[in-house]
Structure 1
């Protein structure tokens, strides 16, 4: 007699947890192939959720590292035309650009997602007074505008 619990396919929750563990443990050499495998899951929303979680974790780790650019190009190729994931990766690239004090366009900042604006307004790595000022004035939400204003105040205070 077989146990119905063990005969069933893993649920999307189980697969999601498994994917997160596997992506977290993947070596750099395995990462792209594993992301591609996750994106082939029949549950597109769950798969993209797992991949965006991974992108957020890895991008935060690599944000100021020289390897970020190569990693982002590899991930962009794997992600392909999946709008949500491509946008998140572009926004991580914009966050990196601002963090490294490289040239960026105001329109890119004001047109960015709520997630990006919240992240940029609260990220300690962002010290650009131009970016924070723009978010304080034109951030999409009150939460973003207030956070950017507080960050600007923190940056204006002399260190103890």
Structure 2
């Protein structure tokens, strides 16, 4: 924040755009979601735009986790964010989280071992899968993940 000539605090433009993006993404109808995300990702402040879209993807993935349309949604989002490696990985990790935690789908332990700290923490704190928890108790990247997985296994 900075001050203008009247000594009032003025919100930086990127903060105002971020807030507008978050608000618009929270209200977007499904039919316009990919178009709005593409518009947000066209913002010249790439870090801010990716942050807004990450927040949206996390919110929507949480809402859709048990929905049979989740794979359709992730495919359409994947096409929309394909030029953005972080967002692409985040979607892939949401799919892995869904397989491990929500649907009991097929997944490979190696994928969980190679996952980001974010996903390993999420699985260790929220999954009821004994296989996932054993995998993280033994091979989790951080002590926090290993301890959380062990505690869930033993609790």
Could you state the TM-score of these two structures normalised by the residue count of structure 1?
0.87
Shift of 1:22: 0.3
Shift of 1:152: 1.3
> For this pair of structures, how many residues does the alignment match?
148
Aligned to 2:128: 127
1:110 aligns with 2:108: no
Shift of 1:4: 8.5
For 1:27-46, list aligned pairs within 5 A. 27-46=29-48
User: Segments of 4+ in structure 1 off by > 4 A?
Assistant: none
Could you state the TM-score of these two structures normalised by the residue count of structure 2?
0.90
Aligned to 1:86: 88
Aligned to 1:57: 59
Q: Distance in 1 between matches of 2:82 and 2:89?
A: 11
Unaligned runs of 5+ in 1: 155-160
C-alpha distance 146-11 of structure 1, shift in aligned 2 (>3 A):
same
Bigger Cα displacement from structure 2, 10-19 vs 67-76: 10-19
SS for the counterpart of 2:49 is helix
Deviations 1:18-65 (A, max 9, x none): 100000011111111100100000000000000000000000111111
